[in-house]
């Protein structure tokens, strides 16, 4: 009997682990965090991918973090300083209205496309 219970418990845990989504998880406050690293393999900035971690709640962006990338640090800092604050608090339908940072256009566009992909992923799976 104990062996059967242990086998069932292990099978249940393995099933739950295999159903988890590596690109999105639900937070305790009801928001969702989407990581675009695997979702946006084909989106490139100037020196490569610009993956992001996007937190969304009720269709509104709560936070955006740029993840590890190979963009030029000075350009990336400008994008973080000038562009990221514009995304916080906007509806998902407004992502495309955020302007790119002049002089860091490739990085800005790649980030915006990552956020658009995150929004689409969220809408399909929430």
- Give the pLDDT confidence of 65-117 residue by residue, as tens digits: 999 999 999 999 999 999 999 999 999 999 999 999 999 999 999 999 999 99
Name the residue range of residue 30's domain.
22-125
CATH number at residue 111: 3.90.1010
- Computed from CA positions of residues 77, 48, 34, 13, in that sequence, does the dihedral angle turn out positive or negative? negative
CB 60 within 8 A of CB 89: yes
| Number of domains, the chain | 1
Query: What is the secondary structure of 78-89 as a DSSP string?
Result: HHHHHTHHHHTT
**119 within 8 A of 95, measured Cβ to Cβ:** yes
* pLDDT, the chain, mean: 90
More confident residue, 122 or 15: 122
- pTM for the model: 0.83
Q: Is residue 54 part of a domain?
A: yes
28 CB-side CA count, 13 A: 0
26 found inside a domain: yes
Distance of CA 32 to CAs 12, 44, 95, 119, Å? Answer: 24, 24, 17, 10
Quick check: is 113 in a domain?
yes
Residue 9 within a domain: no
Does 3 fall in a domain? no
- For residue 7, being part of any structural domain is answered with no
């Amino acid at each position: 009997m104990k062996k059967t219970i242990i086998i069932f418990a292990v099978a249940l845990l393995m099933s739950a682990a295999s159903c988890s989504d590596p690109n999105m998880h639900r937070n305790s406050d009801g928001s969702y965090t989407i990581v675009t690293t695997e979702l946006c393999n084909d989106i490139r900035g100037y020196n490569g991918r610009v993956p992001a971690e996007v937190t969304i709640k009720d269709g509104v962006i709560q936070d955006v973090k740029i993840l590890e990338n190979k963009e030029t640090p000075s350009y990336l800092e400008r994008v973080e300083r000038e562009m990221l604050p514009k995304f916080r608090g906007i509806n998902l339908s407004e992502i495309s209205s955020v302007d790119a940072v002049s002089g860091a256009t490739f990085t800005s566009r790649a980030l915006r496309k990552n956020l658009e992909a995150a929004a689409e992923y969220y809408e399909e799976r929430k």
